[in-house]
Amino acid sequence: MQEIILVKYGEMALKGLNKKTFEDVLLKNIKRRLKSLGSFDYAKAQSTIYIKPLSDDADMDTAMERLGKVFGIAALCRAAACEKSFEAICERSVDYLEEVLSYAKTFKVTAKRADKSFPMKSPEICAQLGGVLLEMFPNLSVDVKEPEVTVTVEIRDTHAYIHAENLKGAGGLPVGTSGKAMLLLSGGIDSPVAGYMMAKRGVHITAIHYVSPPYTSDRARLKVEELCQKITDYCGSIAFFCVPFTEIQEAIRNNCPEEYFTIIMRRLMMEIAQRICEKEQCMALITGESVGQVASQTMNALMCTDAVCRIPVFRPLIGMDKTEIIEIARKIDTFETSIQPYEDCCTVFTPRHPKVRPKLEDVEAAQSCFDFSALIDEAVRKTEVKVFNLEV
């Protein structure tokens, strides 16, 4: 008989009245990920989702791999299904768990009896199945405190389920349960990680990227699109806005004092992002900034950037070291793409001596050398949008 997948929710299980909404979004996200792998039946009970394949050819390995990237799942495992009789449970346990039990030294059995009509009580199932397994696998001894393997038997309405693994899930909250925010996505290492981290908190990500052709190349833009595609594994579909930024950057270069180029550019990026946020109902901005990483990320510079922001700016990497950020970038498989050497609009017209501790009034005075409003309107008007979907 078949195998099923058990998915346990994490933090969501603690949500009181809202729990149903969270569960529904999680289920929808799971279904979308598994749609191309076969047809499945889904059942919910006690902070667990039971995913049962409806045909023998469902691709369970890929299903597990995809589910491992779904936020809102604390743990997941594959389980063997069998008929609800003690004999069938024993036989299936020996057969299904043979490999793990042959190599382990210690184990214990736990039982959950959702179907109270099953004739044996949980302690009895544990004791008797434990006895059978000890006999079959002489290498094993029982350790109830710290067993290497915990064999779990669940007696549910139609079947009994047996499993021994418990893989850690992606954690967090289901994407879509915390509203929508706009990620300023560059081709670097940091911003894809920032997007991943906010998606983990249930935020639906929309991305914005600024390009300055001919100073930045098509290849640089394609790299960012590739990053956007990669993070859909975790974030789900992402609408990607690409803003033509050349004229604005040239206007800054031609009209403003050089040491303020970068900070003015960042303020204008924020202005444009907020204009698009209004249209897209995004409630916050997200960047990959971290205190002190570069001149535009000192506290003074961040304050000058935030002064033009009317909505919150989330900076999930703010207190992280580059090595910690890289570790996550590797885990989510964006690192190798991020380190490809293509220019970003932030690296064209960089001042030789940027102001490390800019004062807001000086930045405002420097920016007022030119009226950017017409150029901002035009950049917003010429922004192109493209949607990246989960690759399934």
Residues that bind ligand ATP (CB under 6 A): 184-186, 188-191, 208-210, 287-289, 293-294, 296, 344-346
Is 22 in contact with 15 (CB distance < 8 Å)?
Answer: yes
* Shortest Å, Cβ 229 to Mg ion: 18
Contact letters for Mg ion, residues 332-351 (x by CB under 5 A): ------------x-------
Nearer to ligand ATP, 33 or 315 (CB): 315
Close Cβ partners of 242 (under 8 Å, ≥ 6 residues apart): 208, 209, 210, 211, 221, 383, 384, 385, 386
Is 338 in contact with 227 (CB distance < 8 Å)?
Answer: yes
* Shortest Å, Cβ 189 to ligand ATP: 4
Q: At what angle do helices 60-67 and 19-34 cross, to 10 degrees?
A: 140
* Shortest Å, Cβ 303 to ligand ATP: 15
Nearer to Mg ion, 271 or 344 (CB): 344
Measured at CB, which residue is nearest to ligand ATP?
Answer: 188
Position 297 contacts Mg ion (CB under 5 A)? no
The single residue among 29, 177, 186, 206 that binds Mg ion, judged by CB under 5 A, is 186
Binder of residue 289, out of Mg ion, ligand ATP, none (CB less than 5 to 8 A by kind): ligand ATP
Binder of residue 223, out of Mg ion, ligand ATP, none (CB less than 5 to 8 A by kind): none
* Shortest Å, Cβ 175 to ligand ATP: 19
* Shortest Å, Cβ 362 to ligand ATP: 20
* Shortest Å, Cβ 206 to ligand ATP: 12
**Count of CB atoms situated within 10 Å of the CB of 359:** 12
* Shortest Å, Cβ 294 to Mg ion: 9
Nearer to Mg ion, 155 or 194 (CB): 194
* Shortest Å, Cβ 239 to ligand ATP: 14
Nearer to ligand ATP, 94 or 348 (CB): 348
Binder of residue 287, out of ligand ATP, Mg ion, none (CB less than 5 to 8 A by kind): ligand ATP
HEC-encoded secondary structure of the chain: CCEEEEEEECHHHHCCCCHHHHHHHHHHHHHHHHHHHCCEEEEEECCEEEEEECCCCCCHHHHHHHHCCCCCEEEEEEEEEECCCHHHHHHHHHHHCHHHHHHCCEEEEEEEECCCCCCCCHHHHHHHHHHHHHHHCCCCEECCCCCCEEEEEEECCCCEEEECCCEEEEECECCCCCCEEEEECCCCCHHHHHHHHHHHECCEEEEEEEECCCCCCHHHHHHHHHHHHHHHHHHCCEEEEEEECHHHHHHHHHHCCHHHHHHHHHHHHHHHHHHHHHHHCCCCEECCCCCCCCHHHCHHHHHHHHCCCCCCEECCCCCCCHHHHHHHHHHCCCHHHHCCCCCCHHHCCCCCCCCCCCCHHHHHHHHCCCCCHHHHHHHHHCCEEEEECCCC
Nearer to Mg ion, 148 or 343 (CB): 343
Position 188 contacts Mg ion (CB under 5 A)? yes
Nearer to Mg ion, 188 or 358 (CB): 188
Choices 25-33, 69-77, 130-138, 179-187; region in contact with Mg ion by CB under 5 A: 179-187
Nearer to Mg ion, 206 or 287 (CB): 287
Nearer to ligand ATP, 176 or 288 (CB): 288
Nearer to Mg ion, 78 or 266 (CB): 266
Number of residues that bind Mg ion (CB under 5 A): 3
* Shortest Å, Cβ 287 to ligand ATP: 4
Q: Which residues bind Mg ion (CB under 5 A)?
A: 186, 188, 344
